[in-house]
Amino acid sequence: MSRRFASSDLFFGLSKKALIYLTILILLFGAYIGILLFGENSVTALVNLQKEKSLLQEESQELQNQNQKFQKEYFELKQLEPKE
């Protein structure tokens, strides 16, 4: 009878205590992975920052090109002014 009782305490070849510890470990690991993927300092935040950096670099380049055109126009207009 004690042999039957001992075998009913095993799940997947593990005792109840070991199974509880394993379950807690798996839950903690899952929470850690969740934080890595979706937390404030996560992979998704990194990807969003990289996209934002790319957009800002494009905007900066566009503004530099626009500034160059304005400078050219300014110097052309400055040469047309009469000298005093």
Q: Where are the domains of the chain?
A: 1-38, 41-84
What percent of the chain is modeled with pLDDT above 70? Answer: 86
Residue 50 has pLDDT above 70, yes or no: yes
Question: Is the pLDDT higher at 8 or at 23?
Answer: 23
Query: Residue range 62-79: average pLDDT?
Result: 94
Reading the block at residue 39, the tokens are: 């937390």
Query: Residue range 60-71: average pLDDT?
Result: 97
- Which residues lie below 8 Å from residue 44, measured CB to CB, with a gap of 6+? 37, 38
pLDDT number for residue 24:
96
Q: pLDDT tier at 2 (50, 70, 90 boundaries)?
A: very low
Distance between CA atoms of 14 and 58, rounded to whole angstroms? 58
